[in-house]
Amino acid sequence: MTGFDKRRVVVTGLGSVSPLGNNARDTWQGMVEGRSGIARITLFDPSDFKTQIAAEVKGFNPRDYMDGKLARRVDRFTQFAIAASREAVEDASLDLEHEDIYRVGVLMGTGVGGIGTLLKQQGVLDKRGPRKVSPFLITAMTPDAASGQVAIDLGVRGPNYAVVSACATGSGTIGEAFEIIRRDDADVMITGGTEAAILPITIAGFNVVGGISTRNDEPERASRPFDLNRDGFILGEGAAVLVLEELEHALARGARIYAEVIGYGVSADAYHMIAPEPEGAGAIAAMKMALRKAGIEPEDVDYINAHGTSTPLNDKTETAAIKKVFGEHAYKLMVSSTKSVTGHMLGAAGAIEGLACVMALYEGVVPPTMNYETPDPECDLDYVPNEARKAPIKIALSNSFGLGGHDSTVVFRKWE
């Protein structure tokens, strides 16, 4: 065993801006209550689109978290990241003035970055010419903008970069931050995912490939992971941030500990840019790697927060992969998809689902899969349908699988 293998990593702070609420507590309560954040799109007029519903962040005013000048210079996805990061640091009672700022890093992931700013400034270019394009275009649109701006906002100078792996991004940021602390490159990592992609171009793009639900007349019932009548995912937006901390560092300052991060697995399907590998090979590899690095057996896992997108292919492939990894124990597991209420937040999905795992362990409550009404013979596990369940879970696993065949799995353990 090498020196850094002995470094344990715990979660000491949580922050969120989501379709369920603009803080971590409201977000978690919304998941537990099964309260949907999905409704008709208000960010633009969706009347001409096949899909007219999404999971928008509601009532978010960036000036509640930053001055007006900064709010105007950064994209919405960065605004979400700053807000959630500030909450997470405060929740962790982390006094950055008394920390070695070179030992505190930021790892913030996104799927598409500042696409809203890019499209807006393209419009300026087309109508008013190149000299009228904003000087803040480049620094607002790049995928690393959120990670850089959060570091500037908090004044921390440790490891800092962006993870971009489509829908697997959020889990990837947590996993990579975990590894940074384990290898002794930082003591604290402020990490998560952020996304603001509810735009005409993205809705149109997903409609063309048939990826998103068109159940416009029933927004709250449109996302139905593992249900036989699922017809696609619902696009969501927002951010979730976790403060990860080396165990001894957290204990020394008397920090509250939510849970421990104990494993991380990552792989690729190497099959197709949209469809999952039919046998779930990449998902299987990611889960097996995470379990191996956590030093646990499949039978030790109590709960899986599934990727569970509500698409026909993903849900049956993930179910098959879980059964391959866990064998008969798969039928004893609780498996749920919180995307049924948050929608699919793309690069932020794995981060908010990591938050869900942490809180499930901390409070002993498993959030439900909402809108599960008609069982699918190919999806035959315990999906905790429609109602939260109290359970003394000790180990939770979070799955995230992304466009391009990216697979990420993170394992959390209850702190006792």
pLDDT digits (tens, 9 = 90+) for 308-323: 999 999 999 999 999 9
pLDDT at 66: 95
> CB count, 10 Å around CB of 101?
15
Identify residue 390 by its one-letter amino acid code: K
pLDDT at 5: 63
The pLDDT tens digits for 24-67 are: 999 999 999 999 999 999 999 999 999 999 999 999 999 999 99
pLDDT at 6: 78
Contact 213, 223 (CB under 8 A): yes
The pLDDT tens digits for 340-359 are: 999 999 999 999 999 999 99
Which domains are assigned to the chain? 10-406 (3.40.47.10)
Taking the C-alpha atoms of 230, 235, 236 and 242 in order, what is their torsion angle to the nearest 10 degrees?
80
Task: Determine the Cα–Cα distance for residues 327 and 324; give it in Å rounded to an integer.
Answer: 6
User: How far does the chain reach from its first CA to its final CA, in angstroms?
Assistant: 24
Band of pLDDT at residue 2, cut at 50, 70 and 90: very low
Task: Determine the Cα–Cα distance for residues 269 and 330; give it in Å rounded to an integer.
Answer: 22
pLDDT at 54: 98
Among 340, 378, 33, which residue's Cα sits nearest to residue 215? Answer: 340
Among 82, 83, 63, which residue's Cα sits nearest to residue 72? Answer: 63
Task: Determine the Cα–Cα distance for residues 45 and 345; give it in Å rounded to an integer.
Answer: 20
Instruction: Report the percent of the chain where pLDDT is more than 90.
Output: 98
Among 146, 194, 150, which residue's Cα sits nearest to residue 349? Answer: 194
393 pLDDT more than 50 = yes
pTM: 0.97
Contact 301, 263 (CB under 8 A): no
Contact 367, 79 (CB under 8 A): no
pLDDT at 94: 98
Q: What is the mean pLDDT of residues 384-388?
A: 98
Q: DSSP assignment of 146-191, as one string?
A: HHHHHHHHHT--SSEE----GGGHHHHHHHHHHHHHHTTS-SEEEE
Contact 140, 74 (CB under 8 A): yes
Band of pLDDT at residue 1, cut at 50, 70 and 90: very low
Band of pLDDT at residue 3, cut at 50, 70 and 90: very low
Q: What is the mean pLDDT of residues 285-297?
A: 98
SS3 content of the chain, % helix, strand, coil (to 5): 40, 20, 35
Q: Which residues pair with 45 in a beta bridge?
A: none
Q: What is the mean pLDDT of residues 373-382?
A: 98
Provide the annotated active-site residues.
167, 307, 344
Instruction: Count the helices and strands in the chain (H runs, E runs).
Output: 13, 14
Band of pLDDT at residue 4, cut at 50, 70 and 90: low
Which region among 107-111, 252-256, 274-278 has the lowest average model confidence (pLDDT)? 274-278
Among 207, 219, 194, 211, which residue's Cα sits nearest to residue 37? Answer: 219
Strands 104-109, 160-161: pairing kind? parallel
Among 228, 230, 225, which residue's Cα sits nearest to residue 386? Answer: 225
Give the chain's mean pLDDT: 97
389 pLDDT more than 50 = yes
